[in-house]
Amino acid sequence: MRKVGVILLSGGLDSTTVAAYARNQGYELVAVTLHYGQKHLREVDSARKVARALDIKQRVVDVSFFKDLAWYSALTSSQDFAVPQQRDSEQMARDIPVTYVPLRNTFFITLAAAFLESEALDIIERHGVAPADLEASVFIAANAIDYSGYPDCRPAFYEAMARSLFLGSKLGAQYGRQIKIETPIISKTKAEIVRLAFELKAPIVHTWSCYEGGEAPCGRCDSCILRARGFAEAGYDDPAIAGAGKARKNVKGKQAG
């Protein structure tokens, strides 16, 4: 069985862990990183470093026009909306925060699946591989446990998306092959994700999860709080935080010199 896969790599802890997982499963893997007009590009830089560390091919695609359509979000219209800070678990679970980007994962999966289907059709139609001998999967680091209430992080959403991809693709309609949507961490706590990352030796030292940019994570947004809690519960120090501290010391040392 030939296995081809696309990982939606944001540069964060979760997607980096899933990328390491997919590579470990023996997929011919390509990382797709999307610049969608988000608040900062620090995560895109992190994704490049992660892809290099994992030695996987990467496509960084500029779809920044998306922010003009999915504008009702603190991540695409930071001048209009503030990122929520210092929220506890009860507050995070209460409603869907303004960091939700309208239909972002729907858009992302569609783009990744289009690229994956192109690769699969090329393998079948130009290289003569039998459809039954090909497995095509989109990997996404969705999580329905430690998350901020986003509706596009639930299993039911991905089940419906997979059905839509089957009905709307040549791979499904002509060859009867499903474009799978793999969500290997969807039911894991953040602590379990951290443990899996260390088990897989994922390059999490390069990752960035904060909703803000800058030299170091803010430590106050939902993403920072969930990440810090996950490392604490897993019993590990966060190597990315340690790396950021060393970088700041080096910069100050150079400035002083």
Distance of CA 29 to the CA centre of its chain: 14
Most confident of 82-91, 133-142, 244-253: 133-142
Pick the residue with more confidence: 182 or 91? Answer: 182
CA–CA gap between residue 56 and residue 185 (Å, rounded): 20
Put the strands of the sheet holding 134-139 in their side by side order: 57-62, 28-35, 2-8, 134-139, 179-182
Q: What is the pLDDT of residue 149?
A: 77
Pick the residue with more confidence: 107 or 216? Answer: 107
Instruction: Supply the Cα-derived Rg of the chain in whole angstroms.
Output: 19
CA–CA gap between residue 196 and residue 177 (Å, rounded): 30
Pick the residue with more confidence: 130 or 41? Answer: 130
pLDDT tens profile 21-60: 999 999 999 999 999 999 888 999 999 999 999 999 999 9
- Distances, alpha carbon 106 to alpha carbons 3, 129, 141, 252, in Å: 23, 29, 13, 43
Residue 180 has a CB neighbour count (10 Å cut-off) of 18
Angle between helices 42-54 and 13-24 (to 10 degrees): 20
pLDDT tens profile 67-125: 999 999 999 999 999 988 887 766 666 788 999 999 999 999 999 999 999 999 999 99
Q: What is the pLDDT of residue 252?
A: 42
Residue 174's nearest CA partner among 131, 136, 137 is: 131
With cut-offs at 50, 70 and 90, classify the pLDDT of residue 189. Answer: very high
Residue 198 has pLDDT above 70, yes or no: yes
Q: What is the pLDDT of residue 27?
A: 97
- Tokens 């219209």 sit on residue: 77
Q: What is the pLDDT of residue 251?
A: 32
Helix (H) or strand (E) holding 136: strand 134-139
Residue 16 has pLDDT above 50, yes or no: yes
pLDDT tens profile 141-172: 999 986 667 899 999 999 999 999 999 999 99
Residue 256 has pLDDT above 50, yes or no: no
Structural domains in the chain, CATH included, are 2-256 (3.40.50.620)
Does this model's pTM top 0.85? My answer is: yes
- Distances, alpha carbon 21 to alpha carbons 30, 61, 171, 197, 224, in Å: 13, 23, 25, 8, 23
CA–CA gap between residue 16 and residue 167 (Å, rounded): 30
